[in-house]
């Protein structure tokens, strides 16, 4: 059993330095970093119109392509650097109204890394309330199911994050950010949610700590995830439906940011993924890094070594980054992210951002996006609520470009076919874990995984959340 300090401790990188501000428009395609002339005369009240970014003169020289070409040692990478960038990705593309709040949040985050009282409280809650550590389970029948005719095939272990309180990994980050908000003296919490799991986790921790809770959720996702909407309201949260745009996660995130701009003095935004402006990609990753830390420890206990392959689904990418972060420096460990290919990569109806996207800015950070030639966001699609996001965390974009992680995609049909197969194997409930099923379907498609690899699939959600979609 991991010690409490191991489960809770996070180690952020160095504190950001102050920087000059330059104005850019967002969202837009940005194949090159080209600042526009100063626009201080423009209004910054609309998040979608103008924004500010911390200007880093070294961005062009330190982009991911040059890091890859140089064959740089991962242990030397800054993830992120002092400007909140992963190579050329990340940054702070936000209204000036939010710059102080982000700086305050970053300062608090770093200070709590060495705060023994905070670390002790977080460790106790993760252990006694969340239920960590989550099991690393050998899926014997699933391993046999995917064994090839020649007898070769990977040994499959499942990191059962679906067994956490509220049924997902999301509670790790929600608990930590709620504690952080209390330290900042902010009693009003807002959050976005797609699949509903981050909303449920946020509503749960707000009920636990006596905080006001407002959840923004796309109207389409509310219909698909009616049970989670009921759970959030039962916990005392106000769920606000978002009908603009595609009425999914992207629009819920934009609406939450608008709320934060308006109520920044009294409100903390518990962003649920490794996306958004710095320090969120770093902070959410570090609060989820307990997943990878436990996996390393449990692997040593079970077979005396590290996993050969890590596989996780990627929407925004929080569960995958929580798993990958611990192993980035271990270059012998393959890291595979699986995106939602929807109706197919050539259909125009998918959410395979890293496979088919271009570099641009969305929700406060530079990353790969699904966008047209004019830089307008293309509506994503996935049968899985939460994977239909047109962007991805900036660190995933960086890991893709430097070649440290691999990203593949799985269609709705492939995920559905494998969800039925999974119910006959090791998952005891209904097994329709779409955010978890995409990695299983990737395994079934026939990858180049070697014989007897310790192949680690990451279960991030419990099965009942997508039951209604399957029935339809």
One domain, residues 222 and 310: no
Are 203 and 268 in contact by the 8 Å Cβ rule? The answer is: no
- The Cα–Cα gap between 214 and 75 comes to 40
Do residues 190 and 257 make contact, with C-beta atoms less than 8 angstroms apart?
no
Residue 445: inside a domain, yes or no? Answer: no
Q: What is the pLDDT of residue 195?
A: 86
Over residues 407-439, the pLDDT tens digits come to 999 998 888 876 545 544 443 322 222 344 445
Is 155 in the same domain as 108?
Answer: no
215 vs 24, which has greater pLDDT? 215
Q: What is the pLDDT of residue 143?
A: 86
Neighbours of 41 (CB within 10 A): 5
CA angle 130, 136, 139 (to 5 degrees): 130
pLDDT at 46 over 50: no
Q: What confidence category does residue 19 fall into, taking pLDDT thresholds of 50, 70 and 90?
A: very low
Counting Cβ atoms within 10 Å, is residue 184 exposed (0-12), middle (13-18) or buried (19+)? middle
Express each pLDDT in 174-224 by its tens digit.
Answer: 999 999 999 999 999 999 999 899 999 999 999 999 999 999 999 999 998
pLDDT of residue 37: 40
What pLDDT sits at residue 153?
83
Q: Is the pLDDT of residue 168 over 70?
A: yes
pLDDT of residue 455: 56
Say how far apart CA 34 and CA 413 lie, in whole Å: 41
Q: In this predicted model, what pLDDT tens digit does every residue of 293-310 receive, in sequence order?
A: 999 999 999 999 999 999
Give the pLDDT of residue 388. 85
What span, in angstroms and rounded, lies between the C-alpha atoms of 463 and 148? 27
Where is the domain boundary, 212, 242, 272? 272
Tell me: do 100 and 138 sit in the same domain: no
292 & 428 share domain:
yes
- Kindly state whether residue 85 falls inside one of the protein's structural domains: no
Least confident of 11-20, 311-320, 370-379: 11-20
Percent of all residues in the chain with a pLDDT value above 70, rounded to a whole number: 73
User: What's the pLDDT at 11?
Assistant: 59
CATH number at residue 353: 3.40.50.1100
Say how many domains are in the chain: 2
Q: Containing domain of residue 324, as a range?
A: 131-159+277-439
pLDDT > 50? residue 60: no
Res. 454 pLDDT band, cuts 50 70 90: low
Residue 140 has pLDDT above 80, yes or no: yes
Task: Choose one of 245, 272, 299: the last residue of a domain.
Answer: 272
Buried b or exposed e, range 445-472, using 16+ CB within 10 angstroms: eebebeeebbbbbbbbbbbebbeebeee
SS (H, E, C) 202-226: HHHHHHHHCCEEEEEEEHHHHHHCH
Q: Are residues 422 and 333 in the same domain?
A: yes
Q: What is the Rg, in whole angstroms, of the alpha carbon atoms belonging to the chain? A: 21
Is residue 195 situated within a structural domain? yes
Shared-domain flag, residues 238 and 284? no
Would you say residue 31 lies in a domain? no
Considering the domain boundaries, does residue 44 fall inside one?
no
Same domain, 141 and 201: no
pTM for this one? Answer: 0.81
In sequence order, the 6+-apart residues with CB closer than 8 A to the CB of 152 are 450, 451, 452
Contact criterion met (CB below 8 Å) for 295 and 325: no
Does the pLDDT at position 79 exceed 60? Answer: yes
| Cβ–Cβ < 8 Å for 53, 325 | no
The mean-pLDDT minimum among 4-8, 101-105, 115-119, 347-351 falls in 4-8
Provide DSSP, 271-334: --SS-SSTTHHHHHHHHHTHHHHHHHHHHHHHHSS--SEEEEE-SS-HHHHHHHGGGTT-TTSE
């Amino acid at each position: 059993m991991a010690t409490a300090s191991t489960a809770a401790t996070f180690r952020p990188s160095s504190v950001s330095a102050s920087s000059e501000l330059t104005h850019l428009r967002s969202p837009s395609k940005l194949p090159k970093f080209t600042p526009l002339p100063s626009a201080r005369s423009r209004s910054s009240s609309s998040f979608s119109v103008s924004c500010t970014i911390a200007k880093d003169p070294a961005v062009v020289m330190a982009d991911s392509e040059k890091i890859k070409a140089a064959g740089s040692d991962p242990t030397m990478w800054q993830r992120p650097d002092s400007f909140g960038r992963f190579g050329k990705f990340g940054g702070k593309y936000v209204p000036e109204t939010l710059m102080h709040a982000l700086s305050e949040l970053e300062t608090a985050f770093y200070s709590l890394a060495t705060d023994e009282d905070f670390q002790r409280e977080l460790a106790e809650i993760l252990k006694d309330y969340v239920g960590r550590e989550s099991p690393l389970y050998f899926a014997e029948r699933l391993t046999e199911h995917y064994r090839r005719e020649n007898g070769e095939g990977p040994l499959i272990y499942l990191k059962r994050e679906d067994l956490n309180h509220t049924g997902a990994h999301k509670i790790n980050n929600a608990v930590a950010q709620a504690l952080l908000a209390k330290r900042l003296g902010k009693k009003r919490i807002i959050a976005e949610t797609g699949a509903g799991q981050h909303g449920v986790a946020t509503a749960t921790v707000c009920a636990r700590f006596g905080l006001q809770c407002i959840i923004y959720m796309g109207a389409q996702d509310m219909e698909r995830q009616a049970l989670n909407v009921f759970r959030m309201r039962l916990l005392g949260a106000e769920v606000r439906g978002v009908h603009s745009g595609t009425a999914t996660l992207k629009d819920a995130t934009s609406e939450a940011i608008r709320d934060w701009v308006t109520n920044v003095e009294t409100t903390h935004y518990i962003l649920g993924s490794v996306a958004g402006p710095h320090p969120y990609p770093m902070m959410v990753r570090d609060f989820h890094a307990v997943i990878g830390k436990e996996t390393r420890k449990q692997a040593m206990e079970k077979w005396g070594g590290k996993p050969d392959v890590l596989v996780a689904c990627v929407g925004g990418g929080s569960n995958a980054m929580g798993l990958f972060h611990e192993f980035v420096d271990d270059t012998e460990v393959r890291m595979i992210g699986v995106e939602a290919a929807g109706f197919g990569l050539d259909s125009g109806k998918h959410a395979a951002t890293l496979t088919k996207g271009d570099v641009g800015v969305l929700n406060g950070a530079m990353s790969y996006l699904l966008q047209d030639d004019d830089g307008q966001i293309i509506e994503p699609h996935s049968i899985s609520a939460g994977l239909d996001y047109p962007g991805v965390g900036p660190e995933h974009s960086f890991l893709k470009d430097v070649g440290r992680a691999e990203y593949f995609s799985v269609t709705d049909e492939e995920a559905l076919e494998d969800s039925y197969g999974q119910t006959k194997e090791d998952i005891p409930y209904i097994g329709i874990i779409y955010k978890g099923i995409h990695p299983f379907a990737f395994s079934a498609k026939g990858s180049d995984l070697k014989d007897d690899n310790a192949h680690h699939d990451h279960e991030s959600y419990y099965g009942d959340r997508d039951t209604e979609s399957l029935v339809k």
